[in-house]
Structure 1
Amino acid sequence: MQYRLARWMGATAAALALCACAFLQPVETAQKMIGSPQSAVRDTFGKPTETYQLAAGTSRWIYSKQPLGFEVYAADFDASGNLASFRQMLTEKEIYEARPGTWTKQDVAQRFGLPREPVQYYPLMKREAWSYRLYVGAYMPAHFSAYFDDRGVLDRTMIIVDPLGGDDHSSSK
């Protein structure tokens, strides 16, 4: 009886440790899973916030931590349904690959997920803005915005540093 209990506790501790790693270091955890089936990714990271079919039978699962978090992760699967890559999408490198005049709302959604902040419309500019929170530089909180014209084509992108400095906007007085 004690052996079974100890074995069960050991298995439970191992599962909890795996969950903690997936939560605290998702990219590092996923890199060890490259080649694993979708079921293993779902077991480790849970249900994705969005899924997209991409070219040549590949697919992408989005794991968004927005609106309060600063990350959006993409799990890309090959045509056989095995994990091919897993990365944080809200980085300056990824954002600078956006193509104004070419990309549509669908392209932005597939790259960064749907916005979790309220969508804004600026009537004088005739532009809709999707906003995401991210870190730039040395963990400086910022907002990334994608602006679309009335046809749904990406017009411009913008990164603005958050002058209030992140999550805790209250001051202790």
Structure 2
Amino acid sequence: MKTPSQYVGGWLICAAALLMLPACAILQPVQEGQKLIGSPESAVRATFGEPTNIYRLADGSVRWIYSKQPLGYEAYAADFDASGKLTNFRQMLVTSEIYQAKVDSWTKRDVEEHFGKPLEPVQYYPLMQRDVWSYRFRQDGNLSSLFNCYFDKQGILRQVQITLDPLGGDSSRAP
């Protein structure tokens, strides 16, 4: 027969294991999100919480953005098909995704759908007549950088630029 302290010890082990589950979603969000592919929106919401932004895409799918901006370096996209099942989960503020931005083609809406709303203050350069949106990211995985998107008056992406993050930091800095 078990003593009361054995029951309490077993309960504490179970409680500790349950508390560690959300920590996995925080420490390894892409891996945890990939495990949920095929799951309904409710499972993603239960794991990651409320998204920062929600977009209905032209193909009928829905994208949720989980942004760690303005001081973090990540923006995760959870893509759902028309039936509400998760089809993809990935980090969007990586070099390979940033290089997909199409100058003279993308609009502000396209940039938002890909990276989320800018959470850094929007800059305006009157001589260029350009709004500039900036997103922090780690270029090639470790160099703290800013991805800057320059838009004309019509909201068309006219220029992109990668600069060093003026706040500095390196890959060991916790966002």
- What's the TM-score, normalizing by structure 2? 0.88
**1:102-121 superposed matches below 5 A:** 102-121=105-124
**1:49-128 superposed matches below 5 A:** 49-128=52-131
State, as a whole percentage, how many aligned pairs show the same letter.
57
Q: Which moved more, 1:97-106 or 1:7-16?
A: 7-16
2:173 corresponding residue in structure 1: none
The residue matched to 2:97 in structure 1 has which SS? helix
**1:156-167 superposed matches below 5 A:** 156-162=159-165, 165-166=168-169
Name stretches of at least 5 consecutive residues in structure 2 with no aligned partner. 171-175
1:137 corresponding residue in structure 2: 140
> Does 2:45 match 1:42?
yes
Deviation at 1:13, TM superposition (A): 2.3
Equivalent AA in structure 2 for residue 105 of structure 1 = K
The residue matched to 1:57 in structure 2 has which SS? coil
Equivalent AA in structure 2 for residue 106 of structure 1 = R
Equivalent AA in structure 2 for residue 27 of structure 1 = V
Deviation at 1:164, TM superposition (A): 5.5
Deviation at 1:100, TM superposition (A): 1.1
TM-aligned CA distance change 1:43 to 1:7, over 3 Å: farther
CA distance in 2, matches of 1:10, 1:89: 36
- What's the TM-score, normalizing by structure 1? 0.89
Q: Which moved more, 1:12-21 or 1:114-123?
A: 12-21
Name stretches of at least 5 consecutive residues in structure 1 with no aligned partner. 168-173
Kindly tell me the number of residue pairs found equivalent between the two proteins: 167
Deviation at 1:9, TM superposition (A): 3.7
